């Protein structure tokens, strides 16, 4: 039986493509559906090209964001999704969703959290002149990029002359490697919340390599 993954997206979908290329149909893992709050997201075309079911859930089509989140959670649940990956999903999911998928949703964020949560993280970091930037993959909770951290990778932005386009390319390179690695670890049962500290994540990386 495959480990069933759902992915939520809003835009281009480069992280989704990385998951399709390195996770989907490999090692007993399957991306069974891709949902978006943006009906025109290019990521949906990427999913459809890979033969993956898609769904469109713009908040404006529902009476409230809470109603939309409940419908989205039900759609994922009906497809027996075991892990939801937010791969550039540009909305905060509310309690109706979190109640259903707490501990089963991860997000990738372009900063070393808890620094620079929310939107424009790369611009904020460059404006602050930080000496290290990076990428974080974390569990999702009710806050904005505030859930327990699973994995991080840092780099020195000075190497890239603080040119935002170059920095963004480096961030994407890390995201496209780090996010699939975390998904593989979770699918293998190698990631769990520390029972003695709910803010801490225990990760066993032995035997789970990069693709």
Q: Is 109 a catalytic residue?
A: yes
Question: pTM here?
Answer: 0.95
In the predicted structure, residue 208 carries a pLDDT above the cut 80: no
> Is residue 161 over pLDDT 70?
no
Residue 35 banded pLDDT, cuts 50, 70, 90: very high
What pLDDT score does 86 carry? Answer: 98
Q: Where are the domains of the chain?
A: 3-203
pLDDT of residue 160: 65
For residue 1, what are its two tokens? 């039986």
Q: SS3 of 129, please?
A: coil
Is pLDDT of 197 > 80?
Answer: yes
Homologous superfamily of the 3-203 domain (CATH): Formyl transferase, N-terminal domain (3.40.50.170)
Q: Where are the alpha helices (DSSP H) in the chain?
A: 14-22, 42-49, 65-78, 95-101, 121-128, 164-187
Locate tokens 């290290």: which residue?
Answer: 132
pLDDT mean over 28-46: 98
Given the residues 24, 104, 109, 120, the one annotated as active site? 109
Task: Give residues with Cβ within 8 angstroms of 41, minimum separation 6.
Answer: 9, 10, 11, 12, 13
Distances from the Cα of 149 to the Cαs of 102, 115, 140, in angstroms?
14, 12, 9
């Amino acid at each position: 039986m495959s480990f069933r993954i759902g992915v939520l997206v809003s835009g281009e979908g480069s992280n989704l493509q990385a998951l399709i290329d390195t996770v989907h149909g490999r090692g007993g893992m399957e991306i069974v559906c891709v949902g978006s709050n943006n009906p025109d997201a290019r990521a949906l075309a990427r999913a459809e090209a890979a033969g993956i079911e898609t769904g469109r859930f713009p908040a404006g089509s529902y009476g409230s964001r809470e109603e939309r989140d409940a419908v989205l959670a039900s759609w994922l649940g009906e497809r027996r999704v075991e892990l939801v990956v937010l791969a550039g999903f540009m909305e905060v999911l509310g309690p109706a969703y979190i109640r259903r998928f707490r501990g089963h949703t991860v997000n990738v964020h372009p900063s070393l959290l808890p620094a620079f949560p929310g939107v424009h993280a790369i611009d904020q970091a460059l404006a602050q002149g930080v000496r290290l930037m990076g990428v974080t993959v974390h569990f999702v909770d009710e806050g904005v990029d505030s859930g327990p951290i699973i994995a991080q990778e840092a780099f020195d932005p000075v190497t890239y002359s603080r040119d935002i386009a170059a920095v963004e390319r480096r961030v994407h390179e890390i995201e496209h490697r780090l996010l699939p690695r975390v998904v593989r670890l979770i699918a293998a049962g190698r990631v769990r919340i520390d029972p003695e500290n709910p803010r801490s994540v225990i990760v066993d990386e032995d035997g789970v390599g990069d693709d």
